[in-house]
Structures are given as C-alpha cells and as structure tokens.
Chains A and B, each alone.
Chain A
C-alpha cells in the first residue's frame, strides 16, 4: 500500500549503541521530517530534508544523524544512544512547500527505549 512506513515499530537498545530508525514513503514527496514525541513537550523537530541530499537541523538535532540519498528514504541514526533519547519517533512527509501542500503525513511511529 502507498503511504509512509517506519521500522522498527518498537526497539530496545543499550546506552552507547548505534541505532538506525527507518522511514520510507511511496508518494515521492520532496520534504521529509523526523520528530520526537515526549510527555510535556509535544512533537519536536529533529531534522528535516527538502530533497534528496538536502538536510537541515531542527529544534533538537544533537546526538542524531540523518541522510537522504533517495527521495523515498530518510533514515535517522542515533550515533551513541543515551537514556534521554528514549522517546517515540515520528517520520513525516510533505508533497512540496506551497500554500496548498503544507499538510504533513505522518508515519505510525517508532517507540525507542534506551536502557
């Protein structure tokens, strides 16, 4: 089915390990985003990408790395996981940045626990 998918849906990892969260969309949307959702903070933007090979930092980028070699994929890597990175991570995409297309489409989320 077309849409935006994330994998894994649940992940438990240990402090210091590298973890990669995958995001894949089938719409060929130009823009993609990574958010983390924490109690009391709502959704906070980690990184976003305007197109393949174009990425930029959001509000809370420290400790995360992204890449976008293909339009449809936007992986998020935690280089050395810390307990403070325990969160629910959402990927989103948007067709293009015009007035009619500001709507973001969200994936189902990845619940990450760092022990």
Chain B
C-alpha cells in the first residue's frame, strides 16, 4: 500500500539551530513530492516541490529538500531556523499516473524557541 512516513512527530529547536525533517514514502512508481507547511491559525501552503531534474530543490523562506530515489526519501532542511518557522510540516507524494491522489504524511510539529 502507498504510504508516507514522517518519523519526527514533534521537534523542538532553539533559534539558529539547523533543521532536518525526515520523509520516506512507499510507492512502486514515479511520484511528485511536496512539503506543505501550516502556520498556527493559517492555511496549509506549499513550501517546495520536486517533479524531476535536480534532486535538491529550494523553496520559500530558506527551506530546501533533497530527493534520494534509492532511499525513497525527501527530507526537508533549513540551515538556521527562526521563531517564525514554528508550524506543522507535512510531506506529501502524488503518483504521476493514475488517479493523482495525494498521500500525506502524519505531519511534524516544529516549535522554535526564541
């Protein structure tokens, strides 16, 4: 069955610390990969996406993610977090063929201490 795993459910960091959130997926075919963020009281919004090409993709607010096909992983990184990065982060995959249904991970709640 298709699935997306986010191993870190809650992460607490101090400002300026580096961030890496793990995401692994299980799917036999080609997928597009996404990271969405939900700031407190706000809509989910797209952070970054990978379709093809360079496996290192850059998104908004200094976030980046690396697609490692052999590991079925799409980890999110940021070199130095800020208090304003406090949010919930969701990894998602979408098969490139078929019914185009998104599969979301369970989310990671990040709290950045000022």
User: What residues make up the interface of A, taking CB atoms closer than 8 Å to B?
Assistant: 33, 35, 40-45, 48, 56, 58-59, 90, 92, 97, 99, 102-109
Contacts and interface: CB of A to CB of B under 8 A. Distances in A.
Contacts of A105: 43
Given A56-B99, A102-B32, A104-B102, A43 B46 contact: no
A36 B106 CA distance: 12
Contacts of A42: 4, 6, 90, 104-107
Interface in B64-114: 90, 92, 94, 96, 99-102, 104-107
Interface of B: 4, 6, 32, 34, 36, 42-46, 49, 51-52, 90, 92, 94, 96, 99-102, 104-107
Given A102-B32, A104-B46, 5 more contacts: A41-B106, A42-B107, A43-B92, A102-B94, A104-B102
B43 A106 contact: yes
Contacts of B99: 56
A58 B101 contact: yes
B40 to A, nearest CB: 12
Contacts of A43: 90, 92, 102, 104, 107
A42 B107 CA distance: 6
A94 to B, nearest CB: 9
Contact of A99 (B6, B51, B90): B51
7 contacts: A33-B102, A41-B106, A42-B106, A43-B104, A45-B101, A56-B99, A92-B44
Contact of B46 (A41, A44, A59, A103): A103
Nearest to A40: B106
A59 B104 CA distance: 11
Contacts of A45: 101-102
Contacts of A97: 100
Contacts of A102: 32, 34, 49, 51, 94, 100
B101 A103 contact: no
B42 to A, nearest CB: 8
Contacts of A109: 43
A111 to B, nearest CB: 12
